[in-house]
Amino acid sequence: MIDLDVVVESLPGLMDGFLNTLWLCLVSAILALVCGSLLALADRSGIGWLRVLIAGYTLTALSMPLLVLLYLLFFVLPEFGVTLSSNVVGVAGLALYYSPYVSQVILGALQAIPEGQFEAGKALGVPQTRLMIRLIIPQMLPLLLPSLTGLLIGLIKDSALLSIISVNEFMYASKVAVANTYAPLEIYIVVGLGYWLLTGLVDELLRKLEARSSRHFN
């Protein structure tokens, strides 16, 4: 039998962890999007040494488990005199890990845009920023959003790993609740439902945004 009293007793702590997960994922996703965009632009700059650096970083990030990156930031950096809080390590780890993925998605979408559109904009003297905002990005959105949705959902699920470095997020709060109540069944059912609702909501919202951007451009 599921003891609902245990769930009610643990709900405040679990809710704090859930809200912290929302905040950490939001900040990490924004940073990953910004850094991924910068990586994509730098890759298209044509500067040889910069592209080599980006390729090396991308290859390293894509081949390294997130948990290893978190351990490097949390346990190894202090050996070199750099000590970061667990929250900073969590956000930085997620952002650094997902930035190359975002970059690859953006580069793929850019390659799908006919090169003639960029050349026509240059020939007409349209500033590059205006060209991107008015013409290129609206075409990219329907191409970007499906992959970005998958990456964001992956980021949310991977945020559970931050409990390993004592970040007070949803999974960490659930471990504390289980230690206090000795009721793993009830607690982890609530946690599973919480992640399911969060990822389902993100998926639904971004699907609607994708459909809207497709209709707007068409």
How many Å is the Cα radius of gyration of the chain? Answer: 21
Q: What is the pLDDT of residue 125?
A: 65
Evaluate whether 188 touches 150 at the Cβ level (below 8 Å). no
Q: What is the pLDDT of residue 71?
A: 95
Report angle CA 90, 92, 94 to the nearest 5 degrees: 70
Q: Which CATH class is domain 4-217?
A: mainly alpha
Written as six digits, the tokens of 121 are 């904009």
Model-level pTM greater than 0.85?
Answer: yes
Q: What is the pLDDT of residue 194?
A: 95
Q: What is the pLDDT of residue 4?
A: 78
Written as six digits, the tokens of 110 are 């850019």
Q: Which residues of the chain carry a pLDDT beneath 50? A: none
Q: How far is CA 154 from the centre of its chain?
A: 7
Q: What is the pLDDT of residue 118?
A: 64
Where do the DSSP E strands lie in the chain?
none
Q: What is the pLDDT of residue 120?
A: 64
Cβ atoms < 10 Å from Cβ of 17: 24
Q: How is the chain split into domains, by residue range?
A: 4-217
Q: What is the pLDDT of residue 123?
A: 65
Q: What is the pLDDT of residue 13?
A: 93
Residues 6+ apart with CB under 8 A from 86: 74, 162, 165, 166, 167
